[in-house]
Structure 1
Amino acid sequence: MLTVNFNAIKMNFKNYKSSLKFPFYLLLAVAIFTSCKDDANLPDYTANKSSLTQLTDSVKQVYNQSAEGHDIGQYPKQARVQLKSAIDLASAVSSGAYTQEEVNNALANLRRAATAFGARKIEEVAASNLVAKWLFKGNTADATGNGHDGTLMTGIIGTADNHRDGGILPVATTDRFGQTGNAYAFDQGAYIEVPYSAALNPQVLSISLWINVKEAFADNYLLSLNKWNGFKFQLQSDNFLFMTLKTPAATYDRDSNPGKMEVGAWHHAVVTAGNGAITFYVDGVQTRSESAAGTAFALTTPVNLAIGQILPKGILSFTDKTSPFYFSSAAFFKGSMDDIRYYNKALTADEVLKIYNNEKPD
């Protein structure tokens, strides 16, 4: 007969339950600790965004009030694009779940972008030394207010024995930004004449302008103040810039080789002279500089400034070969010009680059 010891069974079951207590509470403790640890590692999104929000609103206002363009007081297109990107990022952080560190980074980024944007505002370069500025916005007025306004003129072509008036004026044309009527095209001797002023005959000078050459030509005259008896700035047949400058010491001929213009494309050109050297820049980069002792010669006989011609046609002589104004053959520009700046100082490399960056197409 089988005998069951219920007391033994009860004792064994009690001991069994007791043996389960340790691993159960251990597992429970581990679970609670792990949960607390995970909570401690969660990002803190209760960031203070008041400074970021305030700056974002302020910079948005600056952006909305800014004008895109290449005129004084405006901003280049790329500058506005970069600021808008920083504003959008700051706005996203302001309205989203981000840590204080991320908010602080967005704030610092927006501050940097706003500072950089302010530095891109287009301001006049060397304003106190700017003698004349011909922007060619449908006219030949001097935009500085100094009164050096030009007049559209027809010019002489041919030779002394077989010369004639070209019969056409400079024509308003499309500029480097694709805007119609904001540059002038020159051909058949057409030029712009500016009345002589001592201010246009400084001892030290710089000329900055945009050029689109129609064709290579040995006597592609850009600006001339009594040609080699004062100065002449032109292109040679290989499209190098070429400057002739008379000083009390000598008459100097210098070119921009290797920097040159490209036919059918807009390029920025600068020449500085009268400070002991003649220096050329093409598209913001210095291409050549050579010594030229002395300052620019002061004309003894006033001669009007010619833009696009060797000399004003009213003083030309076709018979007296001893005359300083003798017309031997045509020398005029073939192409388009725009935004001519005339200074009474030698622009620095930084100033030239700033003009180029302000005026270049985006």
Structure 2
Amino acid sequence: MGSLLSIRLTNSSDAGYTLTGLSLAGNEGYDWLYNASGQATYDIVAGTFTDPKAGATLNFPLPPDGLSIAPGATAKVYGWIVPTAAPDASKTITATLNETAMPQVLPAKAFTAGNYYRLKLWWEGTEWKRFLLPPASDLIAHWKFDGDANNSVENKYHGTVNGAVLTEDKKGNSNRAYSFDGSSHIRINDGAITAFGENSFSCNVWINSIQSSGLGNVLRTDDCWSSQGWLLRFNNGRIEIWEGRSNSYSYISTNQYSDGKWHMLTFVRDVENKKGILYVDGVLIGNYDITGIVNNVSSRLGLWIGSGNRLEYYRGKIDDVRIYNRALTAEEVLALYLSTI
């Protein structure tokens, strides 16, 4: 008859947050709940509500002193709902937290009885936002490294492993990431997967390294000689993003990330805004400007993971490599980070 709705609340700011009120309310008079404006009456024999007591607002129970969420922490709240028998997915719902309505309205799902529903929200220091993960249709390749180097998006563009060995991922799960010893790599031979030409793209990868000196390619498409393609690599412990062909553009982070900890690296090539952007752990670190001709970054060599045409080898762990066929937004990058930590 009813369903369970959970809300996962992540505090991505540097300060603690105390939640004292949380509600979901249908907009434009949308009564998406039964048993909400009073005690509903249900006919067991007929299997229908005789007096549904429909309503628009769901208030979540919280501790008397509020729910404290530490920086970087996630809390969960639960609400029992009785969905309307006539759901309308064209409607919207507004979440209100501590008497402040979220600026993003939520799409009204066609809730049905007997199911478990989840909603993920994150606090970025000034307002609550909904997790807006990139649509699966924009993900053109995903090497999860869960026991092998196969692409999970479609049955091609699988990786060939050369010396890399399976190891623990960031959550301690065995055989769910690859370790590279400075002489190993994984290669995706078909260059079509990275044939972006003059278009935007994004790559996202988790790394764990202590490579504090020299060059170590995490992802690279050129052959280290022709300067035609793009890369994401360690440069003396710092993170470098680069692209080249007609012109070369690059950015190198100020901080080092060869600390033996897991970090999520995101390289976004945004042709529309003429930027190459680096994010680390979901946070914007820096960018380069595409000031001249937009490079055609297609490469005949495919994608190298852990080296560049058997040069500039990387030392450390790599996991969860994703390639998107467009420029991800800052909100999507942060949502990716928060959804995978």
- Shorter-chain-normalised TM-score: which range? 0.5 to 0.7
In structure 2, give the amino acid aligned to 1:254: Y
In structure 2, how many angstroms separate the alpha carbons of the residues matched to 1:127 and 1:334?
A: 31
Describe the superposition over 1:50-81 as per-residue Cα deviations: whole angstroms up to 9, x where unpaired. Answer: xxxx7xx521xx67xxxxxxxxxxx97989xx
Q: In structure 2, the residue corresponding to 1:119 is in which secondary structure? A: strand
- Determine the structure 1 residue equivalent to 2:98: none
- Determine the structure 1 residue equivalent to 2:191: 197
- Using the aligned pairs only, state the percent identity: 24
- Determine the structure 2 residue equivalent to 1:109: 60
- Structure-to-structure mapping, 1:130-149, within 5 angstroms: 130-145=139-154, 147-149=156-158
Does the 8 A contact of 2:282 with 2:337 survive in 1? yes
In structure 2, how many angstroms separate the alpha carbons of the residues matched to 1:305 and 1:262?
A: 23
Describe the superposition over 1:124-175 as per-residue Cα deviations: whole angstroms up to 9, x where unpaired. Answer: 623222121111001001111152110101xxxxxxxxxxxxxxx1010011
Structure 1 stretches lacking a partner, 5+ long: 1-53, 64-74, 80-85, 87-103, 154-168, 314-329
Instruction: Return the index of the structure with the highest Cα Rg.
Output: 1
Does the 8 A contact of 2:133 with 2:335 survive in 1? no
- Structure-to-structure mapping, 1:271-350, within 5 angstroms: 271-275=267-271, 276-293=274-291, 294-299=293-298, 302-311=300-309, 313=310, 330-350=311-331
- Whether 2:134 is the aligned partner of 1:125: answer yes
Q: CA deviation at 1:243?
A: 1.5
In structure 1, how many angstroms separate the alpha carbons of the residues matched to 2:185 and 2:258?
A: 21
In structure 2, give the amino acid aligned to 1:271: F
- Determine the structure 2 residue equivalent to 1:217: 213
Which one has the bigger strand percentage?
2
Q: In structure 1, the residue corresponding to 2:334 is in which secondary structure? A: helix
In structure 1, how many angstroms separate the alpha carbons of the residues matched to 2:213 and 2:156?
A: 32
Output the aligned Cα RMSD: 3.1
Q: In structure 2, the residue corresponding to 1:286 is in which secondary structure? A: strand
In structure 1, how many angstroms separate the alpha carbons of the residues matched to 2:170 and 2:317?
A: 10
- Structure-to-structure mapping, 1:169-248, within 5 angstroms: 169-202=163-196, 203-226=199-222, 227=224, 228-237=227-236, 239-248=237-246
Which one has the bigger helix percentage?
1
Does the 8 A contact of 2:201 with 2:323 survive in 1? yes
In structure 1, give the amino acid aligned to 2:140: V
In structure 1, how many angstroms separate the alpha carbons of the residues matched to 2:307 and 2:193?
A: 20
Are residues 152 and 288 of structure 1, via their aligned partners in 2, closer, same or farther at CA, if it must alter by over 3 Å? same
Does the 8 A contact of 2:239 with 2:252 survive in 1? yes
Does the 8 A contact of 2:220 with 2:308 survive in 1? yes
- Whether 2:14 is the aligned partner of 1:58: answer no
Count of aligned positions:
232
Q: CA deviation at 1:290?
A: 2.4
Are residues 261 and 76 of structure 1, via their aligned partners in 2, closer, same or farther at CA, if it must alter by over 3 Å? farther
Q: CA deviation at 1:255?
A: 1.4
- Whether 2:266 is the aligned partner of 1:270: answer yes
- Whether 2:302 is the aligned partner of 1:357: answer no
Does the 8 A contact of 1:277 with 1:290 survive in 2? yes
Q: In structure 1, the residue corresponding to 2:300 is in which secondary structure? A: coil
Q: CA deviation at 1:298?
A: 4.2
- Structure-to-structure mapping, 1:28-47, within 5 angstroms: none
TM-score (ref. length: structure 2): 0.61
Q: In structure 2, the residue corresponding to 1:355 is in which secondary structure? A: helix
- Whether 2:264 is the aligned partner of 1:255: answer no
In structure 1, how many angstroms separate the alpha carbons of the residues matched to 2:150 and 2:337?
A: 22
In structure 1, how many angstroms separate the alpha carbons of the residues matched to 2:316 and 2:207?
A: 7
Q: CA deviation at 1:247?
A: 4.7
Are residues 352 and 187 of structure 1, via their aligned partners in 2, closer, same or farther at CA, if it must alter by over 3 Å? same
Are residues 252 and 175 of structure 1, via their aligned partners in 2, closer, same or farther at CA, if it must alter by over 3 Å? same
Q: In structure 2, the residue corresponding to 1:199 is in which secondary structure? A: helix
Q: CA deviation at 1:107?
A: 5.6
In structure 2, give the amino acid aligned to 1:139: D
In structure 2, give the amino acid aligned to 1:356: Y
In structure 2, how many angstroms separate the alpha carbons of the residues matched to 1:217 and 1:274?
A: 29
In structure 1, how many angstroms separate the alpha carbons of the residues matched to 2:323 and 2:306?
A: 15
In structure 1, how many angstroms separate the alpha carbons of the residues matched to 2:9 and 2:158?
A: 30
In structure 2, give the amino acid aligned to 1:172: L
In structure 1, how many angstroms separate the alpha carbons of the residues matched to 2:276 and 2:231?
A: 12
TM-score (ref. length: structure 1): 0.57
